[in-house]
Chain A
Amino acid sequence: MGELPGANAIADETNPICGDRLRLSLIITGDHIETARYLAYGCPPTLVCGSVLTELITGKYIAEVKQLTRADLLEAMGGLPSRKHHAAALAIETLNKALEPGINAD
């Protein structure tokens, strides 16, 4: 966790309704994610989603990471009550934003 020094891809997303916020910083080398860190504000599931997400994507090919869905994340963390699914949605949204071409300096 924390802010990754030397990150070359950063995304910072906020759920406009509840105010939960996730910030993802990545070091992307060639076709894969070398390192990933997160910062999170919000209910406990949001903090956990940030943590599980960084574990899931570290060392993985970008093509593979782009296929990740909310359901994959929920499965990896052992499930969440449906009223907390928005935490996983925020995590996937932040990830996709970080991987958007042209958003971050490469």
Chain B
Amino acid sequence: MPSRRVYLDNSATTPVDPRVAAAMARAVVETFGNASSVHGFGQQARAAIDRARREVAALIGARQNEIVFTSGGTESNNLAIRGVCEATSASGRHIITSAIEHPSVAGVCAQLEKRGWEVTRLPVYGNGLVRVEDVAASLRPDTVLITVMLANNEIGTIQPVAEIGALVREKRTAGQRHLWLHTDAVQAAGRLRLNVDELGCDLLTMSGHKLYAPKGIGALYVRRGVRLHGQNVGGHQERERRAGTENVPGIVAFGEAAKLAREELDERSLHDRRLRDKFEAAVSERIPDVLMNGDRERRLAHLSNISFRFIEGEGLLINLDLEGVAVSTGSACSSGTLEPSPVIRALGVNDELARGSIRFSFGKDNIEAEVDYAVGVLAHAVERLRALSPLTLVGH
């Protein structure tokens, strides 16, 4: 075990906030009733769920009866996309999405495609951003769903969801009543101030463990009036949209985390941005031949995605891990087949740069000294791996 451990992978998951853990621990012990039970124990659990639902709704400016608790981002994305497509298949079978969605969106779209839906995947160009005019040009009378993420998980770019939302409202006013907009806001919720009415989205995905709650709890916002086929059936829970006894401790934890995120959002955002900017400035100064991926302005404040020329991300990741610095790479090499990150590839960068990309993501618990340590370790590891790389030979 290295002497020092620095966690710079807050986009993968965040450490559980002790205040959230305390609320959850109380709920595990004290709020054990089944929320569907009529007696006092059940009503206590129901009240705890209602309080949490208000907090989660408040985080995105929604009404509380528009929040469906799920097991996390992946389930929410599955429920949103498949739920809407199944409910509206009589009106059309065309979906618009982006080329850089999370696998839980891309995978469901690919599955629907095999079952006869048509899927348009919008390009993101060199800066990692969808263009609204491409959305407009792709819209058809039989388009039933647009699903475009709010912020990308690998490069942090913030997509023009509000502009797409305005377009969807326009189309709906013009008569296309079965067109819905879903956005995967797993990376954005708790990090950007969100309001579903300003975004104009009809469905929005959130996950607890990206905002300092534990894993296994998430939510889907479903605007009133959206028709959705439940994917878990066999119970009345969550207004028939997600059958199954509620995960009360998880929901309580998510509620507490949402409340803290709302209260501390500005402070956290400033903190993350300060650390990220300091990190990027130091990297630019100390390490040559790097490429910062994704738009420089329209991006999340806590995330930095950098390609290091001549070396491969996985080797760099392991070198950093040996020194206690935790980061991630979107590329993987298995069975002799290279799988460079589809997100980085979508930016149009070559295989070498796609393979050498690393994501550093900061969080509220990181401190400045950790940035200094990480940059030192990183500069050393890059130098070591470059000394080993045949790509640095003259005329390679």
> Contact residues of A with B, CB < 8 Å?
1-3, 12, 15, 17-23, 39-44, 47, 83-84, 86
Contacts and interface: CB of A to CB of B under 8 A. Distances in A.
A47 B319 CA distance: 12
6 contacts: A12-B390, A18-B338, A41-B311, A44-B315, A83-B336, A86-B336
Nearest to B384: A1
A53 to B, nearest CB: 14
Nearest to A51: B388
Nearest to B310: A41
B315 A3 contact: no
A17 B314 CA distance: 17
A58 B119 CA distance: 56
Given A21-B391, A40-B388, 5 more contacts: A17-B337, A41-B388, A41-B390, A44-B315, A86-B335
B336 A44 contact: no
A22 B315 CA distance: 14
B3 interface: no
Nearest to A16: B336
A7 to B, nearest CB: 13
B353 to A, nearest CB: 12
Contacts of A17: 336-338
Nearest to B356: A41
Nearest to A24: B390
A46 to B, nearest CB: 8
B351 A47 contact: no
Nearest to A3: B393
A4 B310 CA distance: 19
B335 A21 contact: no
Contacts of B314: 43-44
B388 A47 contact: yes
B336 A15 contact: yes
B189 to A, nearest CB: 34
B177 to A, nearest CB: 49
> Which of A20, A22, A41, A83 gathers the greatest number of chain B CB atoms within 10 Å?
A41
Contact of B312 (A2, A12, A42): A42
